[in-house]
Chains A and B, each alone.
Chain A
Amino acid sequence: MGEAVNFKGNKDGIVLLLDLSVEFESLCQMIVQKLWNSRSFLGEHTALIVNSGQTALDSGQQLALKVLLQSLGHEVKYFVPEMAVSKPEEPAHSEKQEAAVSEKQQEPKTEKTIELPAGLGDAIHYLAEGALVVRKNVRSGQNISYDGTLIVFGDVNAGAELVATGHILVLGTLRGVAHAGCRGNKQAIVYANHLNSLQLRIADLIARAPDGESNERHVPEIARIIDNQLVIEEV
């Protein structure tokens, strides 16, 4: 096959072929790269069938891919082979996501302004033009601002700050402050494998954690704006 990420068409639609011998994080990066390179071919909001060959992706990986594809303007049709644990996505949910994505696509692309803390240099990868991936824990006092979607593979500790004009995805524990859609995009979302943030901001709305309570439920959650309210719900 040569490449770890490939496209193939079948009667159901476009299949994203994944080679799982590659480390999952690198795979995600290749996917983003591939999708960006094939954007004219794919068009917008394409439902992709994800085929991982012989081995099924685990539920965490499937979830990560769903969020990743959504943030890039597409969605997952289904996974091959399927995972017993994973539920098919609720239709209402994905509609909302599509709406979020379409609005984002219409935004005029502005010039990228990136502020990065020193020392994170080699852990950062620019993915095509759309997303910034940080493969490191973001620590107290560090600030990552990005014009676009920000993806962190690692924990974001209390005292750290993530700011993005697009979505923010944390594939780890989010304890610090995250501000998605910082230029007013109310469709932006914040996703974390474990959302335990002291404060979340989307566009001009701010939500803070209840005083003296910590989120002990280790389940992936998404924060988004619904009816001008910042709502956090399980994925």
Chain B
Amino acid sequence: MGEVIVVTSGKGGVGKTTTAANIGTGLAAQGKKVVLMDTDIGLRNLDVVMGLENRIVYDIVDIANGHCKLKQGMIKDKRYPDLYLIPAAQTKDKNAVTEDQVRAICNELKQEVDYIIVDCPAGIEQGFKNAIAGADKAIVVTNPEVSAVRDADRIIGLLEANGLGNPQLVLNRVRPNMVRQGDMMSVDDILEILAIKLLGVIPDDDNIVISTNRGEPTVLDQQSRAGQAYRNIVKRILGEDVPLMNLDVEEGFFAKLKKLFKGN
């Protein structure tokens, strides 16, 4: 029996889709059978981030309304044989599917695969309700910004109200230099407010933009620090105890030189 994990945030642009794509791909890279499901109907993105846009024939609305079979709507990934994408429809809106329909799709998928990662739209309206309808667990993504943390807090309250207590937090786009200078909220500041379990911290990384544009999830890039952070998150989801990575390894030329002269 598989597990349905919804990735949500409240605020837009904090990295829900990126997180969903990377966690899904990372789980598939670990040999799990995974379906990525985009519920952001009308503003679909997950297919672009995954580089699968050109393969879309059927979408979630077609599956929900019985225009195609579930298997037909599942797009096979180009990298992993056990990774699938159910794309959102682009020409409809959030009311094109109901919570019951999404729940039914999730329940059917659970029989077949290990993980269903649901990419939730921004906001707290029907799209959000659809996305969480079939979920067993929730991951809340936020940035170290007051507005994003405020929205995350709101979302955690709504998740609890809908029976998804104890969501886990992914803190995205952290810039250690700014935190050190006191210009950005620290991980501890945010955890004090949100008071939920931390799943992982993703450093701000230019590679994300490049990989998103190319349709290649960062989690597969062994050089990328954000990719490493996502790989750690995947391991934690699989039950491994991985310590948080040190975000401060980025060193300037002079710092390295200094170290060299000090002889360590």
Contacts and interface: CB of A to CB of B under 8 A. Distances in A.
Interface of A: 117-120, 137, 139-142, 155, 157-159, 173, 175
B150 A140 contact: yes
Q: Specify the main secondary structure of chain B where it touches its partner.
A: helix
Contact of B153 (A117, A120, A139): A139
A158 B150 contact: yes
23 contacts: A117-B157, A117-B161, A118-B162, A119-B157, A119-B158, A119-B160, A119-B161, A119-B165, A120-B161, A137-B195, A139-B160, A140-B150, A140-B151, A140-B153, A141-B153, A141-B158, A155-B193, A157-B153, A157-B193, A158-B150, A158-B193, A159-B154, A175-B193
Contacts of B162: 118-119
A155 B165 CA distance: 17
Nearest to A142: B157
Looking at B151, B157, B165, which has the most chain A CB atoms within 10 Å of its CB? Answer: B157
Contacts of B156: 139
Contacts of B158: 119, 141
B45 to A, nearest CB: 26
Contact of B154 (A137, A141, A173, A175): A141
Interface string B189-206: 000110100000000000
B190 to A, nearest CB: 12
A37 B43 CA distance: 59
B161 A159 contact: no
Contacts of A139: 153-154, 156-157, 160
B154 A155 contact: no
Contacts of B153: 139-141, 157-159
A112 B242 CA distance: 50
Given A119-B157, A173-B192, 9 more contacts: A119-B160, A119-B163, A139-B157, A141-B154, A142-B157, A155-B195, A158-B150, A158-B193, A159-B150
